Amino acid sequence: MEPSETGASGPGARRTGHHTLEAEGLATGKKNAARLGAHLVFVDESGFLLIPNVVKTWAPRGQTPVLRHWYRREKISVISGVSVSPQRQHLGLYYQLWFDNIRQEEVCVFLQHLLRHLRGPVIVLLDNSPTHKGEPLDLLLRRHPRLWLERFPSYAPQLNPDEGVWTLAKHDLANGCPQDLDALMEELTRSIERTRTSSNRLRGCVLQSDLPPFLR
* Per-residue pLDDT band at 76 (split at 50, 70, 90): very high
3-state secondary structure labels for all residues of 121-162: CEEEEECCCHHHCCHHHHHHHHHCCCEEEEECCCCCHHHCCH
Main-chain phi, psi angles of 98, to 5 degrees: -135, 145
Region 18-25: mean pLDDT is 42
Region 96-114: mean pLDDT is 96
Region 123-148: mean pLDDT is 95
pLDDT greater at residue 109 or residue 71: 109
pLDDT at 174: 73
Structural domains of the chain, with CATH:
4-46+69-215 (3.30.420.10)
pLDDT at 173: 85
Does residue 11 have a pLDDT over 80? no
pLDDT greater at residue 167 or residue 155: 167
SS3 assignment, position 113? helix
77: region left, alpha or beta (phi > 0 left; psi from -120 to 50 alpha): beta
In angstroms, rounded to a whole number, what is the distance separating the alpha carbons of residues 86 and 84?
Answer: 7
Instruction: Give pLDDT tens digits for 162-186.
Output: 999 999 999 888 766 677 889 899 9
